[in-house]
Chain A
Amino acid sequence: MKNLFIAFVVFTLALLAFSTYQALFVAPTEQTMGEVQRIFYYHVPSAWTAGVCFFVNFLASVAYLWKRNLASDGVAAASAEVGVTFCTIVLITGPIWARPVWGIWWTWDARLTTTLVLWLIYVSYLVLRRFSAGGQTQVLAAALAIFGFVDVPIVYMSIRWFRTQHPSPVMGGGENSGLDPAMLHAFFWNLAAFTCVGIVLMVVRYRLQMLEEKVEATHAAAALQGGSR
C-alpha cells in the first residue's frame, strides 16, 4: 500500500512537470491577452480541484452523520483543508490575471464573490473544527459542512442576480466558447495533474488525521487507567 502511494506521488510529480511544460511552452499564445492567459492552465484546474474537494467533504459529512465512523470524518477534515488550499490558489492567481487584462485586481462579480464566500464558509468550517472539543467535533463539523454545501447554489444565484463580469465559462458555454485544440490539450493535462496533486494531499492529510485520532485515543485510554504518566 505504501509503495503504491509512493509510486502515485512520483507519477503525480511527473504529470505536473509535463503539464506545466505543456502550459508554458507548448500551448499557443492567446491573441488578445498574450502570455498572461497561461495563468488559466493553473487557475481553472485549481478551481476544479477545490470544487471536487468540497463535494467530497459534503459526501463524507453525510456519510459520517449516517454511519458515525472516524474514517468518514477523516476524509471530511482532509478534503476541507485541501479544498481551502486550492481555493486560496484560485483567489490569488485570479487577481494576478485580472490586473493586466481587466485593469483591476478584483471585482464583486458573481463567480469571484461566490468563490470568496465559498472560501469563507470552509475557513469557518476549519475554525469550528479547531475550536470544538473532543468527541463533539465530528458531529458539529458535519452539520456545518452540510449547511455550507447547501448554501453554495443560493450564494451563486443571488450574486449572479446582483452583478456579473467574469468571462463566461470557456468550456461548454455558449456558441462562441471553446478553446483551440492545442490549448485544450494543455488544459486537460493540467486538470489531470492538479486532480492528482489534490488526491496526494488529501491522502497525506487523511493519514495525519487518523494518526492524531490514534494519539488522542491512547491519551484517553491512559487517563482512564488512572494517569500512568
Chain B
Amino acid sequence: MTTIGVTRTTLLKDLRMEWRSKDAINSMLFFALLVVVIFSFAFNPTAEESRRIAGGLIWVAFLFAAVVALNQTWARELRNQVLDAYRVSPAPPNALFLAKAIGNFFFVVVLEALMAPLFVVFYDLRSVGPVWQLIVVALLGTWALVVNGTFFAALSIRTRSREIMLPLILFPISIPALLAMVDATTSILTGEASPDFWIKMLAVYDVVFTAVCLLLFESVLNAE
C-alpha cells in the first residue's frame, strides 16, 4: 500500500469514528466554552480592551482544548494493540502519523470555526485589520500545535501518568508558535502592526517541525 492510500484509509476511519461518537469534538467544545466563560469573569473586558487581549485568550483556550483531543489520539489504538499490529505490518509509519495529525487538525479547525462566533459575541470583537489574515494565522497556527501535539501524544502515551505528560512536553516547545499566533492575531485585530513577520515565522515553524516529526516518528513507533 502506498503512503497516500494508508493515510487516507486511516484518516477516513478516524473521521468516521469521530462522526459516530463525537467524543473529541464535544469534550473540546465544552472545555473551550468553559475557558471562555472563566476568562470573561477573570478579566471582565470592555470592547476596546478585549481587542488587545483577545489574541491571547483565544489561543490559550484553543491550546487547552486541543490538548484534550490530542490526549485521546493514540489511546484507542493502544488499547486494542493496533500499534503493535501496525508495527509488524509493511505500511509506512509516517502514513499513520500523517493521518492522525490531519485528523486532529480537522477536529481543532472545526472547533475553532464553531467557537469563533462565540468569541465575537462574548467579547464584542470587531477586527480592524483584514479578516482573511486571521484565517491564515488560524490554519498555520493550528497545524503548528497539532503536528507537534500528535507526535508528543505518541511519546506521552508510553509514559506513566500519560494525561499530564502531554502538556508538560508540548507547551515549552510550542512557546514560539504560541507567541506568533497571539501576536499576529492581536496585530490583525487592533490593526496597529503588520502580522507578516509572524505569519512567515509560523510557516517556518510548521515546515521545520513537520519535517522533524516525519523524520523521528518511525523510531518512536518502534520504541520498545
- In the complex, which of the residues A127, A132, A150, A157 contacts B168, with contact meaning CB atoms closer than 8 Å? A127
B172 near A133 (CB under 8 angstroms)? no
State how many angstroms separate the Cβ of B32 from the closest Cβ of chain A: 24
B161 near A121 (CB under 8 angstroms)? no
Interface string of B190-224 (1 = CB under 8 A from A): 00000001000100110011001000100110111
B224 near A135 (CB under 8 angstroms)? yes
Interface residues of B in 89-135 (CB under 8 A from A): none
- In the complex, which of the residues B148, B179, B224 contacts A136, with contact meaning CB atoms closer than 8 Å? B224
Is A124 an interface residue when CB atoms closer than 8 A count as contact? yes
Interface string of A140-162 (1 = CB under 8 A from B): 10111011101100110111011
B224 near A157 (CB under 8 angstroms)? no
B173 near A162 (CB under 8 angstroms)? no
Is B25 an interface residue when CB atoms closer than 8 A count as contact? no
Instruction: Spot the interface stretch: B47-55, B65-73, B152-160.
Output: B152-160
Residues of A within 8 A of B155 (CB): 128, 132, 140, 143-144
Number of A-B contacts (CB under 8 A): 93
Number of B residues near A (Cβ < 8 Å) is: 33
Residues of A within 8 A of B176 (CB): 151, 154-155, 157-159
Interface string of A111-137 (1 = CB under 8 A from B): 000000100110111011001110110
Describe A's contact surface by its main secondary structure: helix
State how many angstroms separate the Cβ of B106 from the closest Cβ of chain A: 23
Residues of B within 8 A of A150 (CB): 208-209, 212
Is B35 an interface residue when CB atoms closer than 8 A count as contact? no
State how many angstroms separate the Cβ of B10 from the closest Cβ of chain A: 21
Given A143-B219, A161-B197, A148-B180 contact (CB < 8 Å): no
Q: Known contacts A131-B159, A139-B220; can you find 17 more A-B pairs with CB under 8 A?
A: A132-B159, A133-B159, A135-B223, A139-B219, A140-B155, A143-B219, A144-B155, A146-B212, A146-B216, A147-B173, A150-B208, A151-B173, A154-B176, A157-B176, A158-B176, A159-B176, A162-B179
